[in-house]
């Protein structure tokens, strides 16, 4: 293979964006897990000043590898399965680190990623657990909420600012989720899967301002990609979209309302919504350093499915 060349840019044209998506698709098929997560995938077609794209070439053909880095130093990288073990991954990883990346995601914690990262002196610095559990008819019922709280769906045009505020406070120490902006929220609201009926807001009904608005105490945003995973066997009547998997996309509790028994029922509100929509499995992502959330989900029957690891420089001694 010819010498590897890495080109950086903050904007990809349509041809490059399509080539990267195709490459990432081939890799996901080979690896059994996607290497490019949602935030970076959105930045391929809707440019973000904070995201730098790195395309690796070997010879005259299209890209053989892709990497991206955001303003916070988070990065991802993927090499076309047909071009692996020729130094493309190492060249991209070095370019990412030289450009200021502090953490590189290895989705699925694959042996090749572990070996590459270790060979460049990196160590695991963060673990993200992908958990899942099966849903049954018994999950369709909404749980009772603690006294003084009620639930309603997100209303586009009305709830954005309140949600951004609670999200920022609930995820103050979470690198990606806590820094979501109105633009990021609108990007997600513009996706095919977005459904306000599955974006549940829990309000404190014991307090209201002069126009009758209650403070937002917590939220459970569910996500359901239509038609992703057909369930074996015949479809059940009335189960529109049966056989798909749903996701606990983001669950957050305002810090002032933490420790008041909301986490369990809040999780069940979302899983009940997904079950009623016909989803037969529910999945979620949770940080390894969030033992309270891990415990909440394990108590509700979630089990580990895949591990995602961030590799970075070892902390200074």
Ligand X SMILES: CC(C)(COP(=O)(O)OP(=O)(O)OC[C@H]1O[C@@H](n2cnc3c(N)ncnc32)[C@H](O)[C@@H]1OP(=O)(O)O)[C@@H](O)C(=O)NCCC(=O)NCCS
Span interacting with ligand X, options 45-53, 86-94, 184-192, 267-275, rule CB under 6 A = 86-94
Of 119, 181, 206, 213, which one interacts with ligand X (CB under 6 A)?
A: 119
21 binds ligand X (CB under 6 A): no
Residue list 231-250, contact with ligand X (CB under 6 A): none
85 binds ligand X (CB under 6 A): yes
Give SS3 for 185. helix
Residue 243 CA to residue 245 CA, distance in Å, equals 7
Residue 243 CA to residue 248 CA, distance in Å, equals 16
Backbone CA torsion sign across 269, 167, 253, 280: positive
Nearest Cα residue to 279 out of 233, 206, 223, 218? 223
Alpha-carbon distances of 153 from 4, 18, 220, rounded to whole Å: 50, 35, 10
In this complex, which beta carbon is closest to ligand X, that of residue 86 or of residue 174? 86
Residue 46 CA to residue 118 CA, distance in Å, equals 33
23 binds ligand X (CB under 6 A): no
For the chain, the residue count is 317
- Beta carbon of residue 76, minimum distance to ligand X (angstroms, whole number): 7
Residue list 98-117, contact with ligand X (CB under 6 A): 104, 106, 110-113, 115-117
Of 31, 127, 184, 239, which one interacts with ligand X (CB under 6 A)?
A: 31
Binding stretches for ligand X (CB under 6 A): 27, 31, 35, 77-79, 84-90, 104, 106, 110-113, 115-117, 119, 311
Give the annotated binding-site residues: 38, 77-79, 176, 223, 247, 251-253, 285
Give the annotated binding-site residues for acetyl-CoA: 77-79, 251-253
């Amino acid at each position: 293979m010819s010498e590897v060349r890495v080109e950086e840019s903050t904007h990809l044209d349509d041809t490059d964006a399509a080539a990267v998506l195709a490459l990432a698709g081939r890799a996901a098929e080979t690896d059994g897990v996607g290497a490019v997560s949602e935030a970076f995938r959105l930045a391929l077609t809707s440019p973000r000043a904070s995201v730098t794209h790195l395309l690796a070439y070997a010879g005259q053909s299209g890209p053989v590898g892709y990497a991206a880095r955001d303003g916070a130093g988070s990065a991802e990288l993927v090499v076309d399965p047909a071009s692996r073990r020729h130094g493309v991954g190492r060249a991209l990883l070095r370019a990412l680190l030289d450009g200021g990346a502090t953490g590189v995601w290895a989705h699925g914690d694959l042996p090749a990623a572990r070996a590459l990262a270790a060979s460049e002196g990196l160590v695991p610095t963060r673990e993200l657990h992908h958990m899942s559990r099966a849903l049954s008819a018994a999950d369709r019922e909404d749980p009772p909420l603690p006294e003084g709280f009620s639930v309603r769906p997100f209303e586009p045009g009305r709830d954005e600012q309140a949600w951004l505020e609670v999200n920022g406070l609930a995820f103050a120490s979470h690198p990606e989720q806590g820094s979501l902006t109105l633009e990021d929220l609108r990007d997600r609201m513009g996706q095919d899967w977005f459904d306000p009926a599955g974006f549940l807001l829990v309000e404190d009904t014991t307090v209201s301002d002069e126009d009758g608005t209650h403070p937002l105490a917590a939220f459970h945003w569910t996500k359901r990609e239509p038609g992703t995973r057909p369930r074996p066997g015949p479809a059940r009547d009335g189960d529109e979209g049966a056989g798909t998997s749903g996701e606990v996309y983001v669950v957050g509790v305002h810090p002032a309302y933490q420790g008041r028994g909301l986490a369990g029922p809040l999780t069940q509100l979302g899983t009940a919504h997904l079950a009623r929509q016909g989803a037969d499995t529910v999945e979620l992502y949770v940080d390894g350093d969030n033992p309270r959330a891990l415990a909440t989900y394990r108590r509700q029957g979630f089990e580990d499915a895949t591990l995602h690891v961030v590799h970075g420089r070892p902390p200074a001694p």
